Structure 1
Amino acid sequence: MDAVDRKILAILQEEGRLTLTELAERVQLSASPCHRRLRALERDGTISAYRAVVDPAALGLNFEALVFVTMRQEDRETLLSFEDAVTRIPNVLLAQRLFGDPDYLLRIVTADLAAYQRLEDDVLSALPGVQRLNSTLVMKQVVNDRPLPTTAS
């Protein structure tokens, strides 16, 4: 990956709806070489998807919690069952397995506190292998969905 590829990635992370012509102009290439580079970045998985970033409040999702999950047991079958179940909960925006304790971090959005309480009581606490859930409520987004840096530092 060279500097032009990194510039393409930086621009697309900020402005994903640019036309190929606009992108080519911004990276100072003609359309054909820019298109070849873009397709190569998609083919090798560097660019994994294109999507719209939606304001959660516009969908009535005004409440966010970070949930730390401690597992009762950590055998392979239990962990895979837990992870599979978590992927099917639409309110879970992020699920990360951690080293140490706790075992997982979940980022969850709901309409309000009451909706979150129902989700925790009825769904999260019933996930395979869960011993304890520890929730922290998000007060304010300071940095959210920032583009990845395209230079190593």
Structure 2
Amino acid sequence: MDKIDRNILAELQSDGRLSLTELADKVGLSLSPCHRRVRALEAAGVIRGYRANLDPGSLGFNFSAIVFVTLREGDRNSVKAFEAAVLEISQIIQAQRLFGDPDYLLNVITRDLQAFQQLYDEKLSAMPGVQRLTSTLVMKTVVQDRPIPLQSLKRSI
């Protein structure tokens, strides 16, 4: 990955709706080489996809919680069953497996506290293998969906 690839990635992180022509102009390439580089970045998995960045509050999701999950057992079957259950709950917008205790961090959004309580009681606490759930409410989101700091790649690649 060279400077041009990093510039392509930076431009697409800033505006994923750029046409290939606009992107080529911004990074100083003609259309064909720019298109080849974008396709190569996609094929390599560097670019995982394109999507709209939505505002949860504008859609009625005004409540956000972080839920820490500790499993009873850490064996492969317990982990697989728990992770499969996580995938079935659409209000979990991010899930991360952690080293140590707790085992998972879940970012959950709902309409309000009542909807969160219902989700917690009916789905989160019923997930397989759960020993303990600990929740904390999000007061304010300070950073979200920050672009990957591509400038730090200059020295490592």
TM over 0.5: yes
Q: Which residue identity does 1:32 align to in structure 2?
A: S
The residue number in structure 2 matching 1:113 is 113
How far does residue 151 in structure 1 lie from its aligned partner after superposition?
Answer: 3.0
- What pairs up with 1:6-45 in 2 under 5 angstroms? 6-45=6-45
Unaligned runs of at least 5 residues, structure 2: none
CA–CA separation in structure 2 for the residues paired with 1:10 and 1:82 = 36
Question: Is there any run of 5+ residues in structure 1 with no aligned partner, and where?
Answer: none
The CA deviation string for residues 47-87 of structure 1, in whole angstroms up to 9 with x for no partner, is: 01100000101210000000000111111101100001101
| Secondary structure of 1:147 counterpart | coil
Identity among equivalent positions (%) equals: 61
Shift of 1:152: 2.9
**1:142 aligned partner:** 142
Matches of residues 3-152 of structure 1 in structure 2 within 5 Å? 3-152=3-152
In the superposition, the TM-score normalised over structure 2's length comes to 0.95
CA RMSD of aligned residues (A): 0.8
Q: Render the CA deviation track for 1:10-63: whole Å, top value 9, x for unaligned.
A: 110110001111100100000110000001001111101100000101210000
Structure 1 CA distance for aligned equivalents of residues 128 and 152 of structure 2 = 38
CA distance in 2, matches of 1:51, 1:114: 30
**Aligned residues between the structures:** 153
What is the CA deviation profile of residues 108-151 of structure 1, one whole-angstrom value per residue up to 9, with x for unaligned ones? 00000000000010000000100110001000011011111113
AA of the residue aligned to 2:149: P
Any runs of at least 4 consecutive aligned residues in structure 1 with deviations exceeding 3 A, and if so which? none
Distance in structure 1 (CA, Å) of the matches to 2:26 and 2:130:
49
